Amino acid sequence: MPIKEIINKSGIAFGTSGARGLNTQFSDRVCAAFTVAFVNAMKVEYSFNQIALAMDRRPSSQFMAQVCAGVLEALGYAVHFYGVLPTPALALQSMKDGIPAIMITGSHIPFDRNGIKFYRPDGEITKADELAIMADTSFLPAFTLAELNEKNTAKEVYLARYTNAFASDLFNGFRLGIYEHSAAGRDLNRDVFESLGATVISLARSDVFVPIDTEAVSDEDKQRALDWVKEYQLDAIFSTDGDGDRPLLSDEKGVWLKGDILGILCAKAISARAIALPINANSSVDFVDFEQVTRTRIGSPYVIAGMASFDEQTDGVAGYEANGGFLCGQGLRLGGSALAALPTRDAILPALAVLAKARLEGVSLSRLVEAVTVRYTASDRLQNIDSERVKKTLANWMVVPQQAVLDLSLESELKGVNTLDGLRLTLMNGDVVHIRPSGNAPELRCYIESDTKENADALNLEVISRLFHYG
């Protein structure tokens, strides 16, 4: 059976961040099919005989990694397996070596699902690469599960990227809680901050996979942060999603920062001048003195394309997303040193850069946040939706946006509509209601923007409760 038929029959497709599906859909043949198709797509542009591989801590990831390594070895490629590793660390190593990479991860989605991310030698694959993978007509070779022998090089390179940027006493006297759960980079995160002098307190380490979503922080985790700051006298709390490309950072009060506000602060801290960001990101960025700001569809491939759209001579190019993931282009600086490009989401950079900025300037993290926050956002999601029903509803609302205003009982007249990615309604009172299906899971996302935090939170609750009837 041709590879494209194996993939099509699996029910797995590319979302905004790799191929995603149920664990049961990622059989050995399906994992092998994606792997061979990826290699074939890369061979069109690159010459290589080695491929980098890593994974997150999901129960199904080990098997999937063994399949990918096994079929790669059957094709004659040497596999550099880096074990459990943050996705950006794998990307950094593969770019350094000039070889493709495969990351087994479902990021923040529930543990009964998983995924595969693919990296070219120069960064994330493109939408054109995705189409080529899905259309591959070759056949699978005979293969067996591989024995995985872990290398530590990628961890060392990633650690050095950040610890070499600052003095080793930067965080002396600073108490940082790390909400470890099952994050792929939980030990590396500790190493980074301890190497820079921080006292690190381990919080909620788990042997069971925990699907942390940095755009929809649970009420339980909100309360945990408030309690942890008081109990351990913390100056901040840091965490990430499952594969370490989306950050979660709290201030000294135990309040989790919004990812797009963290993105603004990081961009300023590393001397960014030109910013690409998705349409759902907080518009406070428009009140900051960046030279260029471009809006894109939601998803790192689109943000990367937005970064690439800037003139080649543009210096200080970066991108970030509402989930907090930060992408580095050319001409950026961290701690006074040049920061190599890393055009994929990274979690530790924005946390480290902003905490360092607060430390060096002698101000609190909450004060930094207040200084750049002009607009306030809130977001949530409905899980396990009826995807076909939701698509039909959204299609109808896009044709008649006023119907969405009525169905959602919005209390202001409609001012503007944007359908670049989902349905984004701007109301006469300045509020924004943005609704879109997730590209990674059967979820309906809701993004709210308003002039106060209280208004944003209240409208978010109202809209989510009404969307429940359409999901």
Q: Determine the pLDDT at residue 443.
A: 87
Q: Cα(215)–Cα(431) distance, rounded to whole angstroms?
A: 19
Element (H, E) at 305: helix 300-308
- Asked if 21 and 143 sit in the same domain, the reply is yes
Q: Cα(402)–Cα(394) distance, rounded to whole angstroms?
A: 12
> Residue 385's domain is classified under what CATH number?
3.30.310.50
C-alpha radius of gyration, the chain, whole number: 22
- Asked if 368 and 380 sit in the same domain, the reply is no
Q: Are 280 and 322 contacting, i.e. CB atoms less than 8 angstroms apart? A: yes
- Asked if 178 and 63 sit in the same domain, the reply is no
Q: Cα(457)–Cα(448) distance, rounded to whole angstroms?
A: 8
Q: Is the pLDDT assigned to residue 171 strictly greater than 90?
A: yes
Q: Cα(447)–Cα(377) distance, rounded to whole angstroms?
A: 7
* Residue 158 domain-assigned (yes or no): no
Q: Are 12 and 19 contacting, i.e. CB atoms less than 8 angstroms apart? A: yes
SS3 140: coil
* Residue 227 domain-assigned (yes or no): yes
Alpha helices in 196-286 (DSSP H): 219-232, 259-269
Q: How do residues 280-334 score in pLDDT, each as one tens digit?
A: 999 999 999 999 999 999 989 999 999 999 988 899 999 999 999 999 999 999 9
* DSSP-derived secondary structure letter, 287: G
Q: Is the pLDDT assigned to residue 213 strictly greater than 90?
A: no
CA 43 to chain centroid: 27
- Asked if 362 and 255 sit in the same domain, the reply is yes
The alpha carbon torsion through 331, 336, 342, 345 (nearest 10 deg) reads: -120
Using the 3D structure, point to which of 151, 184, 203 is the last residue of a domain. Answer: 151
pTM exceeds 0.75, yes or no: yes
- Structural domain of residue 287, as residue ranges? 164-372
The beta strands (E) that lie in 58-163 are given as: 78-84, 101-104, 113-120, 123-124
Average pLDDT, the chain: 95
Residue 323, both tokens: 């989930």
* Residue 244 domain-assigned (yes or no): yes
Residues acting as catalytic residues? 107
Q: Are 94 and 119 contacting, i.e. CB atoms less than 8 angstroms apart? A: yes
* DSSP-derived secondary structure letter, 344: E
- β-partners of residue 449 are 377, 432
**SS3 sequence of 329-372:** CCCEEECCEEECCEEEEECHHHHHHHHHHHHHHCCCHHHHHHHH
Q: Cα(22)–Cα(315) distance, rounded to whole angstroms?
A: 42
**426-455: average pLDDT:** 91
- Asked if 146 and 168 sit in the same domain, the reply is no
- Asked if 277 and 357 sit in the same domain, the reply is yes
Which of 256 and 468 is assigned the larger pLDDT? 256
Tell me which residue of 233, 266, 230 sits closest to 249, measured CA to CA.
Answer: 266
Q: Determine the pLDDT at residue 101.
A: 98
Q: Is the pLDDT assigned to residue 440 strictly greater than 80?
A: no
Q: How do residues 347-399 score in pLDDT, each as one tens digit?
A: 999 999 999 999 999 999 999 999 999 999 998 889 888 888 888 999 999 99
* DSSP-derived secondary structure letter, 146: P
Give the count of alpha carbons within 13 A of 246, CB side only.
Answer: 26
Q: Determine the pLDDT at residue 468.
A: 80
Weakest mean pLDDT among 51-60, 208-217, 235-244, 284-293 = 208-217
Tell me which residue of 243, 300, 244 sits closest to 113, measured CA to CA.
Answer: 243
Per-residue buried b or exposed e for 238-260, using 16+ beta carbons within 10 Å of the residue's own CB: bbbbbbbbbbbbbbbebbbbbbb
Identify which of 70-84, 107-121, 211-225, 303-317 has the greatest average pLDDT: 70-84
Tell me which residue of 367, 362, 366, 334 sits closest to 350, measured CA to CA.
Answer: 334
- β-partners of residue 103 are 54, 117
* Residue 114 domain-assigned (yes or no): yes
- Asked if 324 and 383 sit in the same domain, the reply is no
Residue 447, both tokens: 């993004």
Using the 3D structure, point to which of 372, 395, 426 is the last residue of a domain. Answer: 372
- Asked if 187 and 147 sit in the same domain, the reply is no
- Asked if 380 and 365 sit in the same domain, the reply is no
Residue 56, both tokens: 């997150």
Q: Determine the pLDDT at residue 256.
A: 97
The beta strands (E) that lie in 342-470 are given as: 342-346, 376-383, 414-418, 423-427, 432-437, 443-450
The owner of tokens 């907090």 is 324
Confidence of residue 441 (pLDDT cuts 50, 70, 90): confident
> Residue 52's domain is classified under what CATH number?
3.40.120.10
* Residue 68 domain-assigned (yes or no): yes
- Helix and strand numbers, DSSP H then E, in the chain: 15, 23
* Residue 159 domain-assigned (yes or no): no
Helix then strand then coil, % of the chain, to nearest 5: 40, 25, 35
Count of domains for the chain: 3
SS3 416: strand
Q: How do residues 20-59 score in pLDDT, each as one tens digit?
A: 999 999 999 999 999 999 999 999 999 999 999 999 999 9
Using the 3D structure, point to which of 328, 351, 372 is the last residue of a domain. Answer: 372
Q: Are 320 and 288 contacting, i.e. CB atoms less than 8 angstroms apart? A: no
- Asked if 182 and 291 sit in the same domain, the reply is yes
How many CB atoms neighbour CB 402 within 10 A? 12
Q: Determine the pLDDT at residue 317.
A: 97
- Asked if 169 and 190 sit in the same domain, the reply is yes
* Residue 156 domain-assigned (yes or no): no
Q: Is the pLDDT assigned to residue 461 strictly greater than 80?
A: yes
Tell me which residue of 16, 13, 12, 109 sits closest to 297, measured CA to CA.
Answer: 16
* DSSP-derived secondary structure letter, 150: B
- β-partners of residue 20 are 13, 115
Q: Determine the pLDDT at residue 471.
A: 58
SS3 406: helix
CA 236 to chain centroid: 21
* Residue 234 domain-assigned (yes or no): yes
- Asked if 33 and 87 sit in the same domain, the reply is yes
